[in-house]
Amino acid sequence: MSRPHIPLSIQDLSSFSRALARQLSAGADAGQVPSHLALMNMLARAGGYRNFQHLRAVQAAEDRLARPTEPEASVDLRLVEKALPHFDDQGRLLRWPGRRQVRSLCLQVLWARLPAGQAMTEAEVNALLGPAHAFGDVAQLRRSLVEDGRLTRRRDGSDYRRAGGAPSPEGRALIRLVEARRRAAA
């Protein structure tokens, strides 16, 4: 089994040395030579971690987060590619898509911006959807989200809720791309 490489970055070498010296002298007073694991724990603590396990866990999480997510095999990237031009750099829906498939995919981006598990009035839904598009038809977006099953509402229109479930693989890919565009433009 190969050993993972775990880097230890030291911001201040002086404080690191002092912390390590304190730990080594505490063990030397007891007349003990630190074991391999004890020495790794001392190095990790001197670096600001609780112990070696903490250092290893932080590094593993950092590696997972830094690794780019690969597109899922079942994602129809051509459909995502057709939907992406419907959004501007601020993540606003520029125009109403003509094709139902593309429209449903674009609605998933707007759906993801609605708060989950929260009752909303029509005015609150309008306030959230208003800045999310550029063609000035909030009612169309609201109705389409209900028709697409992404938003539920009472018959009298007094209570709107984001429907549960997850976006499709294409929806997740489009959401990631639109959000990345928004962050890059900010």
The pTM (predicted TM-score) of the whole model is 0.61
Q: Is 116 helix (H, G, I), strand (E, B) or coil?
A: strand
Q: Compute φ and ψ for 34, nearest 5 degrees.
A: -65, 140
Answer for the pair 104, 146: CB distance below 8 angstroms, yes or no: no
Give me the amino acid identity at 23: Q
The pLDDT score that the predictor gives to residue 42 is 85
For 111-161, write each residue's pLDDT tens digit.
Answer: 999 999 899 999 999 999 999 999 999 999 999 999 999 999 998 888 999
Please give the chain's pLDDT, 186 residues, in tens: 567 778 777 788 788 888 888 888 877 776 778 888 888 888 888 888 888 888 888 888 787 777 666 555 578 899 999 999 999 999 999 999 999 999 999 999 999 999 998 999 999 999 999 999 999 999 999 999 999 999 999 988 889 999 978 999 999 999 999 999 999 988
Residue written as tokens 């990345």? Answer: 180
d(CA 91, CA 19): 49
Could you please report the per-residue DSSP string of 132-175?
GBSSS-HHHHHHHHHHTTSEEE-TTS--EEE--S---HHHHHHH
Contact 160, 152 (CB under 8 A): yes
Rounded to an integer, what distance in angstroms lies between the CA atom of residue 81 and that of residue 73?
15
